[in-house]
Amino acid sequence: MRMDANIRIDSQFLFAFICMIRIGVDARSLEGERTGVGRYLYELLKEWKQNALSQAQFYLYFKKEIPSDIAKDFTAPAFILKRLPTFFGRPSNAFFLHIAFPWALRNDRTAHAFCPAYVAPFVSPVPFSVTIHDIVYSARPELYFWPSRIDRFLLPWLSARSARRAVKIFAPSQFTKSEIMKVWKIPEEKIVVTPEGVGDEFFARTDETLLIRERYGISAPFFLYVGSIFTRRHVAECIRAFEKIAQEFLDLQFFIAGKDRTRPPVYIDRVVQETNKQLGRNAVIRVDFIEPHLLPAVMRSAFAVVWLSDYEGFGLPALEAMASGTPLVTSHAGSLPEVVGNTAIVVSNPDDVREVLQAFRSVVSDETLRQQLRDAGSARARLFTWKSCAQQTRNAILDTL
């Protein structure tokens, strides 16, 4: 009996000790309009919350503010939320990443840091892992949108340095893993492939056309593009192809949601204005952002989703289109073949407006094809879950402790 009591006491002590493991998280991407990295991190945290991770306590560090939904949904003791000091009252990414974040990691006695957005502190007081979503800026710099000249040097250098110093690198696809190994010469054993997922809300089959019409001024049928607008994603070519098919199908619209990251002479808003003028109606509608809670409804309401790209590390909008049962028009570059398989209409040369137009015609005119794409896409999308992504990420982090 005494031996059993000792074992029970020792187990309780060990459990309490394990629970003290602290993991610091760069949570800046959860602030503001939550796209890309922010949605990725949110889904990981949500899964870690639902599948109680007793081995760790997460310290989420913010730059400007703690979002209200995060404060409500992620509470102590599993999550500790902190807004870090700013640079003389001004929020600075450099100050946050290289000074405030490392200081907090040391001050809170964390055991590990998770950096979900390409880069880590120049000097970290604790071991860290980093997610590298793609390395287009190093592998194909001519395809990248450079905010400034200094970014052209700093981003590839700091990201590569972060990857080399990380104890674990998370990549969303085998393609990104192979790019990291090839371009940066990173050992394979450091890289863990953690494919992204798609939420259950995208598999719902409700009709919200009225909601979308009232919110964005669009009505079915419409083509949809969602994501930052880079030149490599051929949005301008898609608009030009749409202009031609919209002359045949007079009720057809094209909804484009994403911030414009193009350079002159493209400027998507200019292309949109010229197209609408040529068509004599508000056929192309563009917004900077779709609220996350409305995105599944928009996806479901679309006639087809267009996602052409010369380089992607994963391609989350393509996966979400498939889950929504919406036909997908895409290309087979970068990671997209891993995600899409043979469940979409493929444009082999997105620079060719005529080929894009032919893809549009196929999806508009062939109901049998549309149904095949819906069924195949939805089935394949179920292979990708945030639960699996979160579990693999969690396990790899804990293996380093």
Q: What is the pLDDT of residues 23-37, one digit of tens each?
A: 999 999 999 999 999
Q: Does residue 1 form part of some domain?
A: no
Range of the domain at 344: 200-381
Q: What is the mean pLDDT of the chain?
A: 92
306 with 167, same domain: the answer is no
148 with 238, same domain: the answer is no
168 with 239, same domain: the answer is no
Q: What is the pLDDT of residue 220?
A: 74
280 with 350, same domain: the answer is yes
Place of tokens 């003290």: 20
Q: What is the pLDDT of residue 17?
A: 43
Q: Does residue 3 form part of some domain?
A: no
DSSP assignment string, 360-379 = HHHHHH-HHHHHHHHHHHHH
176 with 306, same domain: the answer is no
204 with 193, same domain: the answer is no
Q: Is the peptide bond before 172 cis (omega within 30 degrees of 0)?
A: no
Kindly report, residue by residue over 47-84, the tens digit of the pLDDT: 999 875 557 899 999 999 999 999 999 999 999 999 99
CA gap 317, 326 in Å, rounded: 11
159 with 263, same domain: the answer is no
Q: Which domain CATH number covers 165?
A: 3.40.50.2000
- What is the pLDDT confidence band of residue 234, given thresholds at 50, 70 and 90? very high
Among residues 71, 79, 72, which one has the least CA distance to residue 25?
79
- What is the pLDDT confidence band of residue 20, given thresholds at 50, 70 and 90? low
The identity of residue 81, as a single letter, is L
Instruction: Please report, rounded to a whole number, the percentage of residues in the chain having pLDDT higher than 90.
Output: 83
Residue with the larger pLDDT of the pair 104 and 76:
104
376 with 276, same domain: the answer is yes
193 with 210, same domain: the answer is no
205 with 167, same domain: the answer is no
Kindly report, residue by residue over 348-401, the tens digit of the pLDDT: 999 999 999 999 999 999 999 999 999 999 999 999 999 999 999 999 999 998
Per-residue pLDDT, averaged over 320-344, amounts to 97
Q: Does residue 12 form part of some domain?
A: yes
25 with 152, same domain: the answer is yes
Q: Please say if the pLDDT value at position 262 is more than 90.
A: no
Among residues 343, 322, 398, 392, which one has the least CA distance to residue 177?
392
Among residues 290, 286, 336, 285, which one has the least CA distance to residue 309?
336
| CA atoms lying within 13 Å on the CB side of residue 225 | 29
- Overall domain count for the chain: 2
Q: What is the pLDDT of residue 3?
A: 40
